[in-house]
Structure 1
Amino acid sequence: MNRINNQSKLDDYIEKYNIEDFFGINMKNHMELHSFNKGSHIVKVNEPIDYFYFFVEGKIKVYTILKNGKSLLFRLYNPLTIIGDVEFIDCDKANSNIEAINECLCIAISMSNIRKYAVNDPTFLKCICESLGKKFISSSIASSINILYPLENRLSSYLLAIAPENNEHSNLDGGIITDKFTEMADLLGTSYRHLIRTINKLCDEKIIRKERNSIIILNLNALEKLAGDLYK
């Protein structure tokens, strides 16, 4: 995590997402802008969470680690998303992993200041309730995805979600995606062997091309049809 000391940029994001409207009191002086590099964790499960975040730029994935050591994907998010609402209510440690898919920006307020100044703010508490309600619905949907949708659909949606929007190294429909396939299999709730079979099937259909630990999207429209919006 890096602090960005740029008040003008912070003000732009506050205005863009109407962050001040989430509070009935003035919390602007307590806000900071934090950046996270691709692949870094914004929060990690069972580790202290020191900041309440408004996620304002980039893409993030939320996942947990099961008792058998495997990862399981919950959801992928675009802005605007609140991070720390569950922990604000319940505990000091994160209950899931949140990882930056690309460079991400968050408006941060220290958890101590949130609890000190906003704990009795009706406007903020309403915001928390709405956020928790949305996450409950998302969690219910996510828990059914692995059961109700074939891996082909889940993989397609995941690839679209993590694909860079613009890639200067590729003139194909989509960008180049790199990922460890063992980790991808865990996140999608499948075996490595089944994942590779599914990737090879999409390769045979000329939808993607696999190159070592990279996947290149060849037919964006076909991938979008398979994907739907499972992880959006």
Structure 2
Amino acid sequence: MVQLITGKRKEDYMNQYSFQSFFSFDISPFVQVCAFEKGEYIFQESSLPESLYYMVEGKAKLYVTHKNGKVSLINFITSPSFMGEVELLNAQKYTKGIQAVTKTVCFSIPYNACKQKLLADSVFLRELCLFLGNKMTQTTNRFSQTQAYPLENRLAAFILMSSDDNFYKEKHTEISEYLGVSYRHLLHTFAHFCQSNMIRKSNKGYEIIDRQKLQELAREV
């Protein structure tokens, strides 16, 4: 269940992340601060989004379900990050699914409260353009890394990025597609990481044993 953070704690979050600086008008009356628990949906897939979110703490995953029932992981979203910005600009009507991977805290601005103010605010639009430009660059870099770096480097970086409380638990089928490798190759690399005592298989998924080794591999990417 989504928790709302109110009162002084809301003010503290606004000040800590300088959220007011993103706007030329007073945004505080329109903003809610929301906390999502791990596994909760920020956006249900194919829904009509009602709010623009700005994630300031936590991680989430963006996915899409195809007509044949296959689920594809599109990207991991890490803070700070806007969510629902494409829908705000009317470039996309229905949202893809976004699910919290860790406990996640977001600023939420309901569209019906001030959509026209947002779209007319040059300060906010500049922030949004910078975010979209960085997002495009990151996507391009990820695809180029698929060709330029071995799987063990990219997998180490992915495990560190997607883990929660020192545990990694993602579906191998989705991750092999996301990383652009065969299922067999992915399993072989996980086995190598376990044999090298970097991770250990458990009932919860994989526990990170040697974070430093993983970081050394990830730094190559």
In structure 2, C-alpha distance between the alignment counterparts of 1:140 and 1:109, rounded to whole Å: 29
Where does residue 127 of structure 1 map in the other structure?
127
Gaps of 5+ in 1: 166-174
Q: CA RMSD in A?
A: 2.3
Where does residue 140 of structure 1 map in the other structure?
140
TM-score of the superposition, structure 1-length normalised? 0.83
Q: Give the % identical residues.
A: 29
Query: Alpha carbons of 1:161 and 1:36: their partners in 2 closer, same or farther (altered >3 Å)?
Result: same
Give 4+ residue runs of structure 1 displaced > 6 Å after superposition.
none
- C-alpha contact 1:37 1:102 (8 A) present in aligned 2: yes
In structure 2, C-alpha distance between the alignment counterparts of 1:74 and 1:189, rounded to whole Å: 13
One-letter amino acid matched to 1:93: Y
The one-character-per-residue Cα deviations of 1:70-89 (angstroms, maximum 9, x if unpaired) are 41343441x22111222211
In structure 2, C-alpha distance between the alignment counterparts of 1:67 and 1:97, rounded to whole Å: 15
One-letter amino acid matched to 1:160: L
- C-alpha contact 2:59 2:76 (8 A) present in aligned 1: no
In structure 2, C-alpha distance between the alignment counterparts of 1:63 and 1:146, rounded to whole Å: 19
- C-alpha contact 1:14 1:20 (8 A) present in aligned 2: yes
Q: Superposition pairs for residues 52-201 of structure 1, below 5 Å?
A: 52-65=52-65, 69-77=70-78, 79-89=79-89, 90-94=91-95, 96-165=96-165, 175-201=166-192
Where does residue 220 of structure 1 map in the other structure?
211
Give the CA deviation at 1:25: 0.9
Where does residue 168 of structure 1 map in the other structure?
none
In structure 2, C-alpha distance between the alignment counterparts of 1:72 and 1:51, rounded to whole Å: 23
One-letter amino acid matched to 2:106: C
One-letter amino acid matched to 2:83: I
In structure 2, C-alpha distance between the alignment counterparts of 1:35 and 1:229, rounded to whole Å: 34
Query: Alpha carbons of 1:5 and 1:212: their partners in 2 closer, same or farther (altered >3 Å)?
Result: closer
Q: Superposition pairs for residues 37-56 of structure 1, below 5 Å?
A: 37-56=37-56
Query: Alpha carbons of 1:71 and 1:229: their partners in 2 closer, same or farther (altered >3 Å)?
Result: farther
1:12 paired to 2:3: no
Task: Give the SS at the match of 1:24.
Answer: coil
In structure 1, C-alpha distance between the alignment counterparts of 2:194 and 2:125, rounded to whole Å: 48
